[in-house]
């Protein structure tokens, strides 16, 4: 009997399997992206190895030979860029709030230093491979043997070529930081891809790479030519002696070099420049193609075989919630993207969100509403904080009146004969007190300051005014020079333009959360609208009023911000209050709000929404359509 009871009770005691972490699904997807991008880089390295090889019908392209060895070495140069991208990968573009932040990000930060180091390493490896692959007639060896009766000496052609590759790496690292190549700009609009005529992701990615081929070639030629111009000037003005000394210190370890007073000069400089243009263009093509391939494959939709990543989990919704609650920015952003895809395209998976309420603790729908509202309400909070910071600080409160303290001196003497002479002091303490009192009386009874004192006071006042005027003059001069610098092309990276300032306020900093806010809004509004037909248990109806109010508040705050917030002082070209990315968010918010109004407008009384709130929401949607049309 007891055995039968235990057999009956055992199934009820069985707990639900623990949901797998979201990273268990995201990490393999990122590995596939890295592998595909690396294969693109390897294929490009093989093509460039063929271009560097000596002309031959078979061995110039055959992978098992010198061409294969060059391909492997070039791929190491390519891998350094992959290491850089993986190390500093982050969702969202950089949003700087001041020129100091821009300067720090471009020149001083840890990321900037490592970017220069990895690009220099890649350029150094490529330069050595190129020099190793050239013929002896190119005269790029480390040592110039000279004539038979001359001593060995350093070859300045090789010294200058290596220096030019280093400067090219510095230029590319600067572009990498300025254009924020490490940013993963997750798509903000989810397209409906239910048709069967869509190309496979692999085919689409290769086609996208091919579409950028001409642009990459043109950019590589321009960047290399520009470096050959300013790099030559920098080499002869600043770096020639230093590069020569460093090369001599390395060369004397392997060769018996004669100590010379300085560089010996270039032989046939035009051939050297043409070789740098050719090899530098190949290197920049390798860098830009590697970066582009990594970005394209990393931005693949979080799907596996056409289904959401978490579909393979025993508890898909719980695994997705784990990703949404992740404190790391990348899993959180990818999970929001997957949620938006589920809300848009996958009806079967969407129904499980409404029906999944039997697990202990919060339901799946409640978790999703909470996480998405945090993203939307974060916009309102950021805008309100920015506007509060502009308000003048409150006047200091007057200090409270101190209570009278206990008397520590003798009370006033109640003596009617106050004009009588004071008695002579008897003790030493009384004599000291009498002397101090006499001095105080003499000072207090003086009719006024002396002429010398008045002259001193006027002199000090004039000196103070002169100092203040000099300080103001210097400040105005510095501001004038700063504004003139900001108007030049070199001052461009340090301008905080009005759109950039709006992005930093609305989307956050140091990296934009635009994709998170868009995907959270899309997912929440799509799930809310679809619940009318798919929510059999009525979970969603309790939160519709809260969702509408959060979206309305975000729209109102953003509109007020754009209309009233002042431009930054570095925005020397400010003309109009335009912020395209913020307008795009307004469009997303209003489209979602319009969908909710169209679906639940007739049920507002049952949903706890007042008629005035509904009217205000409709007005905002109408203004949103006019704003989009006006752009």
Give residue-wise pLDDT tens across range 552-578: 999 999 999 999 999 888 878 888 888
Residue 500 and residue 102 in contact, taking contact as beta carbons nearer than 8 Å: no
Give tens-digit pLDDT for 91-148: 998 887 776 777 788 788 899 999 999 999 999 999 999 999 988 888 888 877 666 6
- Range with the largest mean pLDDT of 10-14, 15-19, 419-423: 15-19
pLDDT classification of 195: cutoffs 50, 70, 90 = very low
Cα–Cα dist 119/117, whole Å = 6
Cα–Cα dist 365/542, whole Å = 11
Q: Cα dihedral angle (249, 254, 260, 262), rounded to 10 degrees?
A: -50
Q: What's residue 485's pLDDT?
A: 80
CA–CA distance from 211 to each of 59, 205, 216, 359 (Å)?
Answer: 31, 10, 10, 49
Phi and psi at residue 183, to the nearest 5°? -75, 140
Give tens-digit pLDDT for 243-274: 988 887 887 777 777 766 677 777 778 899 99
Residue 543 and residue 369 in contact, taking contact as beta carbons nearer than 8 Å: yes
3-state secondary structure of 248: helix
Q: Are strands 183-184 and 307-308 parallel, antiparallel or unpaired?
A: unpaired
Give tens-digit pLDDT for 378-409: 999 999 999 988 877 654 555 555 555 555 55
- Angle separating helix axes 110-133 and 23-52, nearest 10 degrees: 30
Cα–Cα dist 279/138, whole Å = 13
CA 181 to chain centroid, in Å, comes to 10
pTM over cut 0.85: no
Query: Which tops the pLDDT comparison, 170 or 497?
Result: 170
Q: What is the mean pLDDT of residues 330-340?
A: 96
In sequence order, the β-bridge partners of residue 90 are 183
500: Cβ contacts below 8 Å, ≥ 6 apart: 95, 96
Q: What's residue 197's pLDDT?
A: 42
Q: What's residue 1's pLDDT?
A: 40
Residue 22 and residue 310 in contact, taking contact as beta carbons nearer than 8 Å: yes
Give tens-digit pLDDT for 510-535: 899 999 999 999 999 999 999 999 98
Residue 57 and residue 87 in contact, taking contact as beta carbons nearer than 8 Å: no
Kindly report whether the peptide bond that precedes residue 107 is cis, defined as omega within 30 degrees of 0.
no
Q: Are strands 303-304 and 153-154 parallel, antiparallel or unpaired?
A: unpaired
Residue 582 and residue 562 in contact, taking contact as beta carbons nearer than 8 Å: yes
CA–CA distance from 524 to each of 302, 365, 536 (Å)?
Answer: 18, 10, 18
Cα–Cα dist 507/502, whole Å = 8
Cα–Cα dist 46/64, whole Å = 11
Chain-wide mean pLDDT for the chain? 82
Give tens-digit pLDDT for 31-71: 999 999 999 999 999 999 999 887 766 667 777 878 889 99
Half-sphere exposure of 532 (CA within 13 A, CB side): 15
b (16+ CB within 10 A) / e for 584-598: bbbbbbbbbbbbbbe
Q: Which of 342-351, 469-478, 499-508, 587-596 has the lowest mean pLDDT?
A: 469-478
Percent over 90 (pLDDT), the chain: 52
- Angle separating helix axes 269-298 and 110-133, nearest 10 degrees: 130
Nearest to 185 by CA among 581, 625, 598: 581
Q: What's residue 628's pLDDT?
A: 41
Q: What's residue 36's pLDDT?
A: 94
> Domains of the chain: which residue ranges?
23-191+217-300, 304-387+494-630
Q: How many C-beta atoms surround the C-beta of residue 179 within 10 A?
A: 12
Q: What's residue 463's pLDDT?
A: 56
CA–CA distance from 420 to each of 413, 416, 423, 437, 439 (Å)?
Answer: 13, 9, 9, 16, 19
User: Cα 363–368–371 angle (5° rounding)?
Assistant: 125
């Amino acid at each position: 009997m007891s055995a039968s009871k235990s057999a009956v009770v055992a199934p009820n005691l069985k707990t639900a399997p623990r949901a797998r972490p979201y990273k268990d699904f995201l990490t393999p997807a990122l590995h596939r992206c890295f592998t595909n991008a690396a294969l693109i880089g390897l294929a490009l390295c093989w093509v460039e190895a063929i271009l560097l090889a000596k002309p031959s019908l078979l061995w110039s392209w055959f992978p098992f030979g010198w061409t294969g060895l060059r391909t492997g070495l070039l791929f190491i140069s390519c891998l350094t860029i992959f290491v850089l991208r993986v190390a500093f990968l982050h969702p969202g573009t950089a949003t700087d709030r001041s020129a100091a932040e821009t300067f720090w990000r471009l020149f001083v930060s840890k990321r900037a230093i490592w970017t220069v180091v990895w690009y220099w390493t890649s350029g150094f490896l490529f330069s050595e491979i190129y020099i190793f692959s050239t013929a002896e007639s190119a005269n790029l060896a480390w040592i110039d043997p000279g004539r038979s009766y001359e001593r060995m000496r350093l070859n300045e052609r090789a010294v200058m070529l290596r220096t030019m590759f280093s400067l090219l790496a510095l230029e590319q690292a600067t572009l990498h930081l300025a254009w924020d190549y490490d940013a993963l700009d997750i798509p903000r609009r989810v397209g409906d891809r239910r048709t069967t005529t869509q190309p496979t992701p692999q085919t689409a990615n290769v086609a996208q790479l091919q579409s950028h081929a001409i642009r990459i070639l043109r950019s590589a030629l321009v960047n290399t030519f520009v470096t050959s111009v300013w790099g030559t000037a920098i080499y002869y003005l600043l770096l020639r002696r230093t590069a020569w000394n460093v090369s001599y210190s390395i060369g004397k370890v392997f060769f018996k070099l004669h100590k010379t007073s300085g560089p010996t000069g270039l032989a046939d400089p035009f051939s050297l420049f043409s070789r740098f243009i050719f090899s530098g263009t190949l290197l920049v093509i390798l860098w830009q193609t590697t970066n582009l391939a990594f970005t394209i494959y990393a931005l693949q939709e979080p799907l596996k075989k056409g289904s959401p990543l978490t579909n393979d989990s025993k508890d898909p919704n719980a695994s997705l919630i784990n990703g949404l609650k992740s404190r790391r920015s990348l899993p959180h952003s990818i999970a929001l993207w997957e949620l938006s895809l589920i809300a848009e395209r996958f009806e079967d998976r969407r129904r499980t969100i409404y029906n999944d309420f039997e697990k202990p603790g919060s339901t799946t729908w409640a978790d999703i509403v909470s996480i998405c509202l945090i993203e939307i309400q974060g916009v309102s909070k950021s805008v309100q904080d920015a506007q509060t910071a502009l308000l003048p600080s409150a006047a200091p409160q007057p200090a409270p009146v101190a209570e009278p303290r206990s008397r520590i001196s003798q009370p006033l003497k109640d003596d009617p004969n106050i004009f009588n002479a004071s008695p002579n002091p008897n003790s030493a303490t009384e004599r000291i007190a009498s002397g101090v009192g006499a001095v105080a009386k003499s000072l207090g009874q003086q009719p006024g300051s002396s002429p010398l004192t008045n002259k001193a006071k006027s002199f000090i006042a004039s000196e103070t005014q002169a100092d203040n005027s000099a300080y103001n003059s210097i400040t105005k001069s510095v501001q004038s020079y700063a504004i003139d610098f900001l108007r030049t092309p070199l001052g461009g990276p340090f301008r905080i333009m009005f759109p950039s300032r709006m992005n930093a306020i609305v989307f956050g900093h140091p990296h934009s959360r635009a994709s998170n806010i868009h995907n959270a809004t899309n997912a929440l509004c799509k799930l809310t609208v679809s619940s009318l037909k798919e929510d059999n248990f009525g979970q969603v109806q309790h939160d519709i009023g809260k969702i509408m109010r959060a979206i309305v508040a975000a729209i109102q705050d953003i509109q007020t911000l754009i209309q009233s917030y002042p431009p930054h002082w570095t925005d020397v070209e400010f003309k109009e209050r335009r912020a395209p990315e913020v307008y795009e968010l307004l469009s997303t918010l209003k489209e979602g709000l319009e969908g909710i109004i169209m679906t639940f407008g007739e049920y507002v009384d049952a949903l706890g929404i007042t008629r005035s709130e509904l009217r205000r929401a409709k007005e905002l949607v109408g203004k949103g359509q006019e704003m989009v049309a006006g752009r």
